[in-house]
């Protein structure tokens, strides 16, 4: 968890603060302070866990620094609350889901061009944790209800189909 409090350089800290200011202000107004701090702490922790898992899988030992996991968890929450609403991100019209895909694409491109200071695992882990928390799908009973509802819809779809006949044409 302590990785979140150290940054690589001043620009890293400044960029995290800038993104948090842009997207976090709206979320902060909607939530109580305790909810805000709990959410960002869990997103930072989720980003750190994903980094540890990716280091175990890929055998990398690069240091991970910064509050980016929590910041991108806030971006994911913002995108979720504005999923189909029109937004203007730096004068570019888009929806929340497009904004989330844009942030993922930026991270992937930064890794592909060799920008090793970016921890893709922490960013994606923070985003995934933020989405799980804000949607409520981290709760087992919610996942079970979603699965049952989907199964019921599939069953109803099958029942509505006209029966196939064995008569030749």
pLDDT, tens digit, 9 for 90 and up, residues 79-130: 998 888 888 877 888 888 888 888 888 888 877 776 655 678 888 889 999 9
pLDDT, tens digit, 9 for 90 and up, residues 30-88: 989 999 989 999 999 998 888 888 888 877 777 777 788 889 999 999 999 888 888 88
66/8 Cα distance (integer angstroms):
7
What DSSP letter does each residue of 102-129 carry, written as one string? HHHHHHHHHHHTT-TTS-HHHHHHHHHH
CB of 91 within 8 A of CB of 39? no
78/131 Cα distance (integer angstroms):
10
Query: Per-domain residue ranges for the chain?
Result: 2-160
What's the confidence (pLDDT) of residue 167?
Answer: 58
pTM: 0.73
State the DSSP H helix or E strand holding residue 10, giving kind and residue range, or none if neither: helix 10-30
Given a cut of 60, is residue 169 above it in pLDDT?
A: no
């Amino acid at each position: 968890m302590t990785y979140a409090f150290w940054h690589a350089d001043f620009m890293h800290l400044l960029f995290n603060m800038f993104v948090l200011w842009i997207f976090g202000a709206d979320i902060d107004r909607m939530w109580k302070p305790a909810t805000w701090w709990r959410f960002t702490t869990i997103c930072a922790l989720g980003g750190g866990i994903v980094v540890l898992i990716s280091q175990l899988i890929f055998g990398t030992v690069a240091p991970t620094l910064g509050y980016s996991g929590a910041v991108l968890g806030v971006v994911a929450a913002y995108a979720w609350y504005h999923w189909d609403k029109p937004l203007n991100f730096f004068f570019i019209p888009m929806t929340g889901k497009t904004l989330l895909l844009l942030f993922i694409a930026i991270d992937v491109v930064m890794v592909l061009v060799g920008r090793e200071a970016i921890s893709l695992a922490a960013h994606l882990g923070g985003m995934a944790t933020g989405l799980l928390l804000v949607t409520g799908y981290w709760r087992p009973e919610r996942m079970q209800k979603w699965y049952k509802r989907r199964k019921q819809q599939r069953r109803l779809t099958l029942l509505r189909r006209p029966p196939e006949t064995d008569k030749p044409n």
